[in-house]
Every structure is written in C-alpha cells, then in structure tokens.
Structure 1
Amino acid sequence: MKHEFEQVNEKSIALYCRVSTDEQAREGVSLDEQQERLKAYCRAMGWSTEPILFVDDGYSAKNMDRPQLNRLLQAVEKGSISRILVTKLDRLSRRLLDLLKLIDVFQEYDVSFASISESFDTNTPSGRLTLQVLGAVAEFERERIRERVFENMVHAANQGKWLTQSPYGYRLENKELVIYEPEAQIVRDVYDMYLNQGIGYRGIARKLNDAGILSKQKKEWSLRAIKLMLTNPAYKGTLVWNRVDTSKSKRNLKDNSEWVVVDDALPVIIDKKTWERVQHQTNKKQMAPRAQTSPHLLGGLLKCGKCGSGMSIGWSGSKNKRYRVYVCSAHKNKGTCTSKQYRADEVEEWFKEGLQQLLNMIGYQSFPQLIQKATQQNEENVEQKIRTAKNRYKRKVEAYTAGLIELEDLNEEKQRLEKLIEEADQKSSVSQIDISYVEKMVKEKIKNALDAIDILPVPEAKSLIKTIVEKVIIPEEKDIEIVLRID
C-alpha cells in the first residue's frame, strides 16, 4: 500500500501508524484500521485541525530506523507538531528504553503523546506514570519470553538437536544431523589440503570451484566459507549454540563463557586431534600472500642470521650472466644490517641438505628439541582448554541461578571441568605427548617436502614445505638453521 503524505508546515496533530507484514497476517492490525480509529478519536475530541499521517508499512517496532518515524522526529524538532497519537504503545516501539527516549524528545519540544487504547496522555502526571508502568510490564514479559526460549534452546542443544540449517557434510533428519558422505568427503579433503598440503583458504576455494563443487547454497566457494568450514566444531562432534549475538543488525561473536557447548553430541567427520591441529594453524600468523606465490623456494621463509629481518630475492652478476641472490631486507632497504647476499641456488641446496639431515636424525634421544616444542604447545593447549571450561562452568552457574537449567546439567559441567583439571595434574607433560605420533608426522612431512622440491613447481613445493618449516635462518656462509613447526 502506498501513502501520500502532506508537507508539515505548521503546528499539527500527528497520527503515527505502523505494522509489520507478519503482524498484519497474524493479528489483523491493518494500517487502515489504525488510521480510522485515530481520526475518529480526533473528531470525538473536537479537534478541527486536519491531522498529518505518518505511516510505516512493513517495519518492526524493534528497530528505530524507520522512514516515517524519522520524518516525524524531524517535524517534532522543527516545532511543527503539537500532539502525537498512536492506537497502542507498541506501534511506536516495543522496547521500554526506546519508548522513553522518544517521549523525552517529545517533551523537550513541548509535544504531548497519547495512546488511545491505553487511555493516557503524557500531558498529565498520571498519564506519564501509567506509560512507564505499562512499558515496564511489557518489557518484563518480553524478557520472560526470551528466557523461556533460551531454556528450550539449551534443552534441545543438550539433547543433540540441531537448531539451524545443517552444515556442509550433513543432512538434517528429525532435527538431528546425519552424515551425508558425498559432502563429508569434501570436508575431509579440505582439512587435508589445509593441514597436510599447506594450501590456504584462497587456494582451497579455487580448487573446489575449478572442480565444479558447489557450496551448501549452490554457489561458488569463498574464502569466508572455507574458513567457516575449517573452524566449525560440529565436524569433531561438538554442538555449540549461542555463539553469535543476533539481537542487533551486526552479528557479533559472544564471549565463549556464554556459549552452550555439548561435546560428543554429533556424528564425527573430522577426528578431534586433526580438528585441534587445524585450529592451532588458523590462529598462527600466516605467510603473506605474495610470499606464498613467490617463484623462489625460500621466499617468505628465509631470515637474516644477523638482524632477524626477512630476506628477499634480488639479482647479481654481469649483464649476460645474472643470477638470483637472497638479500637481507634491512640491508637492502635501510642499510642498517651488514649481512652479505647469498646465491639463491646455493642457499636452496643447503636447505635441501639440512632437511635430509633432520630426517636422518629424528628420534626421541637424538632430537629432544622436537619433543620440547611439542610439549610446550600441548601445555598451552591444555591451559587454554581449562580456561575455557572454567568460563563455561561459570556461565552454567549463572544459568542455574536464573532457573534456566537443571541441577543435573550444572553437575555434568562441573564433572567435566574437574576431570579436565585432574588429567592435567596427574599426567606429566611428556606422557601427554604421543611421541611416536609426533616423530612419524614430522618424518612424513619432511619426506614429502623433499620429494616436492624435486618434482613440483616452486609454489606447490613451498605449500608442502611450510606445513613443517616455520622459518630458515642463515647465520653465516654454508651455515643454515631450520626451525620446524609442530602443530
């Protein structure tokens, strides 16, 4: 329905009407009915001034950004309005704070406000009191509804019920997720490409799109979609609800203490160890995209042994016999480092020899730094898990105090926290590490990197190298240090 509005030029009576599409279908609160009731009220009061209509068709009262409400406020601020009428309070706003804020504006400009259904007028003290009481009661009822909805959602989550659209790799049957194998295999391939092949979000999206594999929405894959897949805890069997605040137009991630987390509630596509390794990888500082696609084997990995700056590629030699060199960027761009330049082909050969030596010497006794690094990372992961579990338990205590969950749910959360702390106290750091697994994983990745250097193009070989190598340092001539990454 389209409405024509008169220009407000002098002090007038404003009639504000609003309806949302679902509201009209459910309750029959039509715009025409509101207008007729307000005009009849004006006639009954003996007001001869022709009222001005402000009509918001299809707008929710939860949002204050409405075209005709904004136009009404502008007219109020210009001093063109003397009185505002609505059929009910919720036509103006369903939120008490917003309602009181609007009435404060009206009073600031000497504009009275009346709701004809609730029979009050802000020109009188009793009208203002009635307004605040009615608004407070309405706000209380909405909060109770929100709490009941939250309680029902928590119960559903604890029962393993999926509350939204199923993620890629699953189908929804009777509100429960079941694995859809054709998509689940794609999920496993994506995790493998990221973790074991060193391919980034963009590269993974490109591979899926080139293969003609569509997303859940039957669209091409984006970087964001790949990242969401790699960080979705549902794939390891964990149901997480209430992560995102949807009460505002911009969706923000809530503090993890507010999340509803239920472990081992869903069918597993990615084992927990692999999922945790991927999370560790996504939280690390990534190599710059330009360095990842560099046609030089150690671009983005090589560091100066004197100042720690990155080493970039350059060229040296005569006009007819030029060759690649790695140069310290601080020396090249600032002159603050005295490091010399190194022939790139020689450095890359030293690197290959160093990788081979590492492969030959890996063992629990002969390679203790490997275990030390893995142990340190494991301790950090355990500490983070305990912090998260404590925050989650604190949130459950608050929920139990508010009557949102049962004592049984609170006790289960407490037992999980106590078990996690007990395991961390009883086991030594080394015993928590699967040493044979770490050794096998490192050997396999080094071997894959060595094979890739001889067979694959440089960008693809570099992708495999960076799954096991964190950085490469040249302290001096023919001396090279390779720092491994243990995920």
Structure 2
Amino acid sequence: MPRALIVTRLSRVTDATTSPERQLAKCRELCEQRGYEVVGIAEGLDVSAGVTTPFNRPQLGDWLTNRLGEFDVLVFYRMDRIVRRLLDLADLIRWCQNHSVAIVSATEQFLDLTAPFGDIIALLVAKVAEMELQAISDRNASAAQHNIRAGKYTGGPTPWGYLPAKDDADTWRLVQDAEQVAVIREVASRALDGEPLRAIAHDLTARGIPTPKDRLAQHQRRKVNGYAWHSGPLKRSLTSPTLLGQVVAREPLVDAQGRPQRDSKGRKQYGPEYIVRGDDGTPVVRAEPILTREIFERLGKELSARENRKEPTKRSTGLLLQVIHCGRCGRPAYRLKGGKGRNPRYRCASAQYKEPCGNRSIPLDYADESVERILLAMLEASERKERVWDSGSDNSAELEQVNVTLVDLTGLLGTGPYGAGTPQRVALNKRIADLAARQAQLSAEAVKPAGWTWESTGEKFGDWWTRQDVTARNVWLRSMGVRLEYEYTEGHPDPAIRLDLGDLHQLTEQMDAAGPVAGWLDVLATMKERGIRGVELGSDEPKIVRE
C-alpha cells in the first residue's frame, strides 16, 4: 500500500475558503479512494509559498530532508498549496523523481505526476500560479503605497512614539503614545546634554521602560518579551524621520529569481531606509510630529559628531582611560586597582600578553595630575564658548530629489501610454507641473546649512573643568583627541611624559584663547601662511616640513 504524506498550507489563518480542515478532508478523501496509507501531515500556517520553497518550510522541509523513505506520495489540496513559483515546482519534481516519490493534487484531476505527461501539465499550471502570485503582489504593493500616501497605518511594527488606532471613519492611523513621547523627549534632552547613548540605554533597561516592540505588544495585549535597550537601535530611532511624522520605507532585497534574500536565521534582508514622498516631491506626513525639526536636526548633528569619540560604556573610573598609551609599544593602558598598600595605577595592556613590552605601570594620580597641570597651564585662562544650534535654511536634499524625479517623469512624455491626449498624459502633466512649482519654490529659498555655532559663556575653562566629574572630563579628552604617552627609561625613577593636545584649532574652537595657547595659535597661523606643515626634531639640525 503506497504511503502518503498530506501537505496543507495557508498564507493567512483567517482565509476560510481553503481552511486547513477543508484541505485535510479533501486530501484524506483522495487517499481513501486510492488506497493510500496516510503516514503524516505537514502543515504550514501563516506560510507564504511566494517567499518560501517546500524545502525551507518548518514541517514539510523536515519531512523532505530528514525523513526520506517514510512516504511514497505527496498529496495536497491544490497546486498553489505547495508551490507558487515555476522553478520551485521544477526543483520539487526533480527531487521526487530522484527519490521515487509521486505528486498528486486532491482537487485537480489533470494534475497527477503518476499519469503520462503529468510533469509537463504540472509545470504549465505552476506558471499560471506564478503569474497569479505576481499579480496579487503588484496589487498589494499598489494598494499599500496608496494607503501610505493617504496617511493610513497598513500594519507591521510601529515607529517609536506611535501606536495604531482607528479614527472616526474607522480607518487605522498612527497616533502619539503619551508614554513613549515622554521617554523620547527625555532621551533627546539627555543626548543633547552630551550623555552617552550606552548609558541612556542601560538606564532605560534598568527602569523597565518598554522598547517600541514591547510597547506595541502591550497595546495589542500580546506577550511582552522584555527586550533590552541598545545604543545602536536607539541612535537609529533618534535620527529617524518618523519622529517628524514622516513615512519611511525599505525595499526587500531579492535574488535573481525575485525571491526575498534572507539571513542565516531566515529573516528578510532589506535595503537602505528612504523617505516616502508625494507626487510633488514633499515627504508624506501621516502622524503628528513628536520632535520639532530644530531639535531633530540638532540630534542628528550631535550624534553624527560622536561616531569617532569612543565614549565610555559606563562611568569612567579613570580620567585617562583610552587617552593614556604606552610610550614603548603604543598600546593603551588600563586602570589597575591598587592592592593593600599600593595606589591605583595605569598599566600597559601588553602586560597581559605572553611577551610584554617591559614598560612599568604609572601611578594613576601622577598621570592624572600631569595631564591636568599641562592642560590647565595652557587653557585655564581661556573663556569657554557654548554650542548654540543655528537652524539655518537648507532644502538642498529635497531639491535634489525633486530634480531627479522631474528628469525621470519628463523622459516618459510621448512614450507608450503617455501620448498626447491620453488620460495618463494628463495625469503626468499635472504631476510634472506640481513638481516644477515645488522646484521653483525650493530654488528661490536661500541656503544656509543648519549646524552648531559657538557663543561665549563668560566662564573660564579652568572653572568649567573644576565643575566636571571624571566621566565628563574623560569624554572631553577623548573627543578632543588628547593622547598621553609615558615611558620609563633606565636610571630615571619618573617616567617621561609626552602629551599630544591634538588639533589646537579644534581644541580652541570652543573658547576665546588666552594665555600660552593663544601664542601657539599665532605660531601655527604663521606656519600655515608660509606653507610649513611642521618641524622634525632629531639628532641633526631641525628640519622644516612644508606642505
């Protein structure tokens, strides 16, 4: 008696016309008529045949891969319940021929690979199913784009700060969630004050603040997983135009056969995020903005400037972490806690290697005080400046997008369905006119890039330094590119100290230079005017290095 494996599949469990029960009943009826022994059922609920093959579905894939020899026939309700793509069916037919397994449809009498020419008929039917799938996909994509541009919520994860709700017309929209909005504004304020995103993320997790995914689960009364906050996703959320109420989208990456690409865990891979725009080129806004454009742009500039700052992952216990380096091998030094009768020290990282460089550790107080002494001697009398955000007026990105779209649209004039007098041409002409009007408006506006400017505070650098804690001072030293190297030499009890203050122009951009640093700036300015990049000092006479 032939052994049958029944295969059922449903893209959405709400589809009652081809419910799993109905599919299973028809398949059992066929098996009984033909005398097949049913040895198993491979069920696939909420599984799309357009994005999966029979071999990578949870249950059916296990049967095909790990349970060879346990069945002789694959029985399914209809061809589109097992495949939706021609190449997938060809692969399945080849596999079945190699393993002597028949394929039978319970409702399509002409579709039976046990009959002559059954494989040819099956491939023809699969091509029709593939064409139907593409038509469905195109209709869904078109409807989704229309609904998005109309400001509707079309399902899926919600942007940070918003939750889905029905309006008076019974249409799903995104509305602000007061709980999340309060968190967003708190986080934005803390980030603009210079607090590291890692520290903010740890704090949100410790306080039990739900992530956007968990907050949506709470709202929909689903299981809350208690996800932790992380600095990377936090930064992406803070710089996402969704905080301005705008719609963003990402297109799935597809392979040569049009299938979505997936990672090792089976998750879809997407291209870069882009802003969805209307016919006139302006961003589509479907929800009330959470942040003002000024705050949003300030955040973008602030977080962009941090990329190379290497902020501490937690509160620093040493002023010079990631600042102090070994002068012998160049590796960073780390803080070594002092034991009984021994004070804290900085020690070269090579001490943990099989072959250390041999440089001794340096007392923490000695190194910290050396840096502070040199730094304050140079900068103490200088007056600090404070960053002030200038909103500016820069629509260059939108203007560039409008220009590109106009080039694309004008290229359609007179082609195919866009001939003179056709309805498509009338609609195209209107869209081009709207974009041209927007182009003229943007071109007429003065361009002044938004960014930070510096204004005097009346506070001396030395007073500001005294007010800061260890973490704030450490972050400042890193952001300025300050580097300290130390090295012990034979016959000298104290190490040689070499302090590099980095780019003095960047260092003094945030202060009105006074005292020794002002003199160095004059020297550097004179060197630049004369094309001198620097001076090399060695055993011979000093050598001038020109640009």
Query: Do Structure 1 and Structure 2 share a fold, with TM-score over 0.5?
Result: yes
User: For residue 187 of structure 1, what is the aligned residue in structure 2?
Assistant: 184
Query: 1:96-142 CA distances to partner (integer Å, 9 max, x unpaired)?
Result: 33222111101123333232422233355632222111111111111
Query: 1:299-333 CA distances to partner (integer Å, 9 max, x unpaired)?
Result: 123467898654544699xx96x666666667997
User: For residue 310 of structure 2, what is the aligned residue in structure 1?
Assistant: 286
Residue in structure 1 matching 2:248, options 240, 245, 266: 240
Q: Do 1:393 and 1:413's aligned partners in 2 also have CA atoms closer than 8 Å?
A: no
User: For residue 4 of structure 1, what is the aligned residue in structure 2?
Assistant: none
User: For residue 36 of structure 1, what is the aligned residue in structure 2?
Assistant: 28
User: For residue 529 of structure 2, what is the aligned residue in structure 1?
Assistant: none
Distance 1:339 1:413 in 2: 71
Distance 2:116 2:403 in 1: 47
Q: Do 1:233 and 1:240's aligned partners in 2 also have CA atoms closer than 8 Å?
A: yes
Which SS does the other structure have where 2:196 is aligned? Answer: coil
TM-score by length of 2: 0.61
User: For residue 7 of structure 2, what is the aligned residue in structure 1?
Assistant: 17
Residue in structure 2 matching 1:54, options 33, 36, 40: 40
Correspondence 1:267 to 2:293: no
Residue in structure 2 matching 1:170, options 162, 166, 182: 162
User: For residue 204 of structure 1, what is the aligned residue in structure 2?
Assistant: 200
RMSD over aligned Cα, in angstroms?
5.3
Residue in structure 2 matching 1:142, options 133, 146, 155: 133
Could you tell me which amino acid in structure 1 is paired with residue 82 of structure 2?
Answer: L
User: For residue 473 of structure 1, what is the aligned residue in structure 2?
Assistant: 483
Task: Output aligned runs, 1:298-447, within 5 Å.
Answer: 298-302=320-324, 310-313=332-335, 343-352=367-376, 354=378, 356=380, 359-360=383-384, 407=428, 432=449, 437-440=452-455
Distance 1:204 1:23 in 2: 42
User: For residue 491 of structure 2, what is the aligned residue in structure 1?
Assistant: none
Give the aligned length: 434
User: For residue 318 of structure 2, what is the aligned residue in structure 1?
Assistant: 296
Could you tell me which amino acid in structure 1 is paired with residue 124 of structure 2?
Answer: V
Q: Do 2:163 and 2:174's aligned partners in 1 also have CA atoms closer than 8 Å?
A: yes
Query: 1:213-241 CA distances to partner (integer Å, 9 max, x unpaired)?
Result: 44425566622463453243211343102
Residue in structure 2 matching 1:99, options 89, 111, 117: 89
Could you tell me which amino acid in structure 2 is paired with residue 27 of structure 1?
Answer: T
Distance 2:246 2:348 in 1: 46
When residues 294 and 157 of structure 1 are mapped into structure 2, their CA distance, relative to the original with a 3 A threshold, is: same
1:344 Cα shift? 2.0
User: For residue 466 of structure 2, what is the aligned residue in structure 1?
Assistant: 454
1:160 Cα shift? 3.3
User: For residue 535 of structure 2, what is the aligned residue in structure 1?
Assistant: none
Task: Output aligned runs, 1:147-162, within 5 Å.
Answer: 147-162=138-153
1:273 Cα shift? 1.4
Correspondence 1:129 to 2:159: no
When residues 66 and 473 of structure 1 are mapped into structure 2, their CA distance, relative to the original with a 3 A threshold, is: closer
When residues 388 and 211 of structure 1 are mapped into structure 2, their CA distance, relative to the original with a 3 A threshold, is: farther
1:191 Cα shift? 1.9
1:15 Cα shift? 4.4
When residues 312 and 15 of structure 1 are mapped into structure 2, their CA distance, relative to the original with a 3 A threshold, is: closer
When residues 301 and 14 of structure 1 are mapped into structure 2, their CA distance, relative to the original with a 3 A threshold, is: same
Q: Do 1:205 and 1:221's aligned partners in 2 also have CA atoms closer than 8 Å?
A: no
Q: Do 1:12 and 1:50's aligned partners in 2 also have CA atoms closer than 8 Å?
A: yes
Percent of aligned positions with the same letter in both sequences?
A: 17
Distance 1:306 1:230 in 2: 42
TM-score by length of 1: 0.67
| Residue ranges of structure 1 left out of the alignment (5+ in a row) | 1-10, 43-48, 364-369
User: For residue 8 of structure 1, what is the aligned residue in structure 2?
Assistant: none
Could you tell me which amino acid in structure 2 is paired with residue 222 of structure 1?
Answer: A
Query: 1:382-441 CA distances to partner (integer Å, 9 max, x unpaired)?
Result: 99x6999599969988xx9999x98489859976997899799x96xxx6465xx4213x
Q: Do 1:324 and 1:345's aligned partners in 2 also have CA atoms closer than 8 Å?
A: no
Q: Do 2:72 and 2:100's aligned partners in 1 also have CA atoms closer than 8 Å?
A: yes
When residues 420 and 281 of structure 1 are mapped into structure 2, their CA distance, relative to the original with a 3 A threshold, is: farther
1:211 Cα shift? 5.0
| Residue ranges of structure 2 left out of the alignment (5+ in a row) | 219-223, 255-259, 418-423, 486-495, 511-547
Could you tell me which amino acid in structure 2 is paired with residue 345 of structure 1?
Answer: E
Which SS does the other structure have where 1:39 is aligned? Answer: helix
Q: Do 1:38 and 1:86's aligned partners in 2 also have CA atoms closer than 8 Å?
A: no
Distance 2:430 2:502 in 1: 49
